[in-house]
A and B are shown apart, each in its own frame.
Chain A
Amino acid sequence: MLQQFGNAFAFIFVAAIIPVLALTVGRFFRPDYPLSTKKIPYECGELPVGSAYVMFNHRFYLVAIIFLVFDVEVALMFPVMSIFSDYLGQSFGLKILIVSLVFLFTLFLGLVYAWLSGDLEWFMERERDSRVRKKTVTRGEA
């Protein structure tokens, strides 16, 4: 098995070498005439206004938090599911089944809670809170 992980590492190594090689080979052929206008970020031909590091919708942050919970759950279920079929019809198999059903049900309750508290809605209820409405002017994206 260690040899197989070595093979996988060889793949990652070659996969990292390919882009480095492609960029280095091009260095000998491509032109290099740096002008100050070429270094301006592209904004459809207009001069850019301000920095690009603007505020963006905090929904992205909430999605990342909910994702973290569920992804850890998926990672936890992988080893349990991979041994489940070895214990069909045995008492240990029944234990696996009940424990994973309870686990999945609890997680599903978490999803329902997030849904009911409005964390899955992409558009905020702006009208309800005037403070939010003032701040939305600087937001990057609706």
Chain B
Amino acid sequence: MTTVQSWLEFMPFAPVVGALFGAVVILLLFVAPVGGILTYVERKLAADFQERIGPNRVGPFGILQFLADAIKMILKEDTAPENADKFIYNLAPILVMMGSLGAFAAVPFASHIMGADLDVGLFYILAMGALVSLGILLGAWSSDNKWSLLGGMRAAAQIISYEIPLGLALLSVITISGSLSLREIVLDQAWVGQGSFWHVFHNPFVMVNFVIYFISALAECNRTPFDLPEAESELVSGFNTEFSGMRFGLYALAEFADIILFACVAAAVFFGGWQLPFFHPEQIFTDINLMGVNFAPLFVTLSTLLVFLGKIAFFIFVVMWIRWTLPRLRMDQLMSMCWKYLIPIAFVNLIGSLLWVWFFRGRSIVELLMGVA
């Protein structure tokens, strides 16, 4: 939020106020409401896929359903099992939210909207993702319920296993961009007429690695076909069986925030972030003066934000589409899928990507076809 910080410079403690303001704007005004609306979108899409009507009572087309759900969750009684470990039981939803919302700091939403331009951005996101699995495991273990224990163990095993192909798939992009900062990775993918393009189309190994990234991200978010931890038909919603009211709501919100996060990373790392080929907002909106104020930077930011949100929306739709299309895997299939297929393929792709970058001096397929020296 560099622009906001420059407005706030006259205030005392401007950096602190600016940082908190940016965090509140991105988390409370973007991630939390969008996570809420996604619960509605998910139910409406499910209804469409199954030829039902879906929620249609609250507001036009039932679009205010998520507000009704939130009010209901606040009004529900908060109970805990008698033998639950109360301290960990109370801590777990907070840890999960910290992990999934805190990771949004490093996501570049538009050319000038970014929480924190960390030079270890991608690493930071992976580290915060580990906090989510810790919260899920602690909450499941502390609630003194057999379903929860089994669901929590499955969640932990699944999330840590799929972190390896996820990391390997991201590594192959880092060999190309040479930076861990998400802002620099996005800037690296600008179409400048020289053949530099989105990283997915850099070389065949990265294309395969995107598929591996997407599968692993589904498993990290506990989404179908990898929803064993909360398999509602066998484990009665698994790790959050004993969490009622708002605590359950926090878990649900964290799940949708995770989906948004992985869509953001997919868009930023593989699909060019806010960049589109042949679309240069800095050149279109050069000089828009209204009453002596230049609104060009505002228009640039808004148009890039729209591009990025469009890409996120597409990935989120695909995730929901998969949920209502595929059946659930079995535990042994889940593990062999990760260890026997994804990790070896990701290894080969990483080595292939390294060799490609070395032998073609970092040039992409498009650049080679266009004959860029």
Contacts and interface: CB of A to CB of B under 8 A. Distances in A.
A84 B27 contact: no
B79 A25 contact: no
Contact of A18 (B101, B147, B178, B362): B101
B41 interface: no
Contacts, number: 248
A9 B6 CA distance: 20
B145 A8 contact: no
B123 A78 contact: yes
A40 interface: yes
B242 interface: yes
Interface residues of A, number: 78
B179 interface: yes
Contacts of A23: 78, 93, 246-247, 250
Prevailing SS type, chain B contact patch: helix
Contacts of A93: 358
B81 interface: yes
A11 B102 contact: yes
Interface in A86-111: 86, 88-89, 93-94, 97, 100-101, 104, 107-108, 111
Contacts of B94: 16, 19-20
A57 B6 CA distance: 56
B150 A141 contact: yes
Contact of A120 (B23, B339, B358): B339
Chain B interface residue number, banded:
35 or more
A94 B124 CA distance: 29
A47 interface: no
A40 B143 CA distance: 11
A7 B106 CA distance: 10
Contact of B340 (A44, A77, A120): A120
Given A19-B94, A30-B245, A52-B145, A77 B171 contact: yes
B332 interface: yes
A11 B81 CA distance: 32
9 contacts: A5-B116, A8-B105, A19-B94, A29-B74, A30-B245, A63-B160, A81-B171, A82-B179, A85-B176
